[in-house]
Amino acid sequence: MAPADDSLYPSTATFEPVYTPTGGVAAPVDDTAAAGLDLKVRSQWSYARMRFFRHRLAVAGLIGLIIIFGAGIFAPLIAPYSYAQIDLYNILHSPTTIGHHYFGTDGIGSDEFSRVIWGIRTSLEVGVFVAVVSTIVGLIIGAVAGYYRGWIDNLLMRVTDLVLTLPALAILLAFSALVGNGSQWTLSIILVAFFWTGIARVVRGMFLSLREKEYVEAAKASGAGDGRLMFRHILPNTLGPIVVNMTLAVGTAILTESALSFLGFGIAPPTPSLGQLVANGQNYPTQWWLTIFPGLVIVLIVLCVNFVGDGLRDALDPQQRRVRA
């Protein structure tokens, strides 16, 4: 058999031995870059972003949230009427008057489309505030409990367990009745008191695991303090579950606020909220549009938030290798 011809198998990299003046051999030189083959290093976040945008339901949910929340943010520009405007000449008009009342009017002649848009703005304020503040509170409590362990862990976790054992809806109704129907910020503070427990337990479990890792021990041996170890070395490795839980908390807070407003213990009129609009529609059983439109918006918001949370969970999981369609 004829010897193999090396010219038939061209190499993209050529390594020539270079002899030093002392007689040794220098490290080989890689001419891959010279051949035009540049290696691009991707970060963990770039891979997460790529996996997220390949998750079709997550992208659809993100687009839906941008449209719905964008309408709420720009409510003063999009809503054709004020949410408190009364028109006694157009009471309970169905959504058939094209160009005037897209979602019809309610029992006092207010434009339902405008009230739904302003209700989205109110729900957005409640959802984002509750999600961010409860995540910060739960993060601090969970991090301290998981890092220091011992009696600090026992004390903080017993308080967390106590809050978890309370009947949340009954306590929320009692608090709302005690302080009276108020603004969305009063209701948001009440919700924060119950929403921090879940993220606290998640963060505490991850801190218990990560504090024993080699890189944490190395940082501790190099003289890093507790604050630097917790928030510089351990916390970045817990951001995935934290972001996912915070995203899902937005939908849960909006759903809880809608339920409280529906029961009459939420945001006080005339400030509109989606749950309040659904409750008002119950007074007019034959006027279907007063219940369908705000209820449909609540369903769409919760679905989109869950889709985005599902996509973030897959994208930020370092063990996830399969891209879901």
The 10s digit of each residue's pLDDT in 227-247 is 888 888 888 888 888 888 888
**Tokens 């504090």 identify what position?**
211
Nearest to 71 by CA among 116, 127, 126: 116
CA angle 58, 62, 63 (to 5 degrees): 120
- pLDDT level of residue 18 (50, 70, 90 thresholds): very low
Rounded Cα distance between 142 and 126, Å, is: 23
Under DSSP, the state recorded for 84 is: T
Q: How far apart are CA 228 and CA 181, in angstroms?
A: 43
Please report, to the nearest 10 degrees, the dihedral formed by the alpha carbons of residues 9, 10, 13, 14 taken in order: 100
Question: Residue 287: pLDDT above 90?
Answer: no
pLDDT band at 67, cuts 50/70/90? very high
pLDDT of 42 > 70? The answer is: no
Mean pLDDT in residue range 209-217: 84
Calpha distance 204→207 (Å, rounded): 5
Report pLDDT for 139: 92
Give the C-alpha separation, 302 to 247, whole Å: 11
Q: Residue 197: what residue type? A: T
Mean pLDDT for the chain overall: 79
One-letter amino acid of 240:
G
Q: What is the pLDDT of residues 122-162, one digit of tens each?
A: 888 899 999 999 999 999 999 999 888 889 889 999 999 88
- Counting residues of the chain whose pLDDT is more than 70, the rounded percentage is 81
Q: What one-character-per-residue DSSP string does 233-283 give?
A: IIGGGGHHHHHHHHHHHHHHHHHHHHHHHHTT-SBPTTS--HHHHHHHHTT
Domain chopping of the chain, boundaries? 101-316
Q: How confident is the model at residue 224 (pLDDT cuts 50, 70, 90)?
A: confident
Alpha-carbon span 128 to 134, nearest angstrom: 10
In this prediction the pTM is: 0.77
Mean pLDDT, range 173-197, rounded to an integer? 79
CATH topology of domain 101-316: MetI-like fold (1.10.3720)
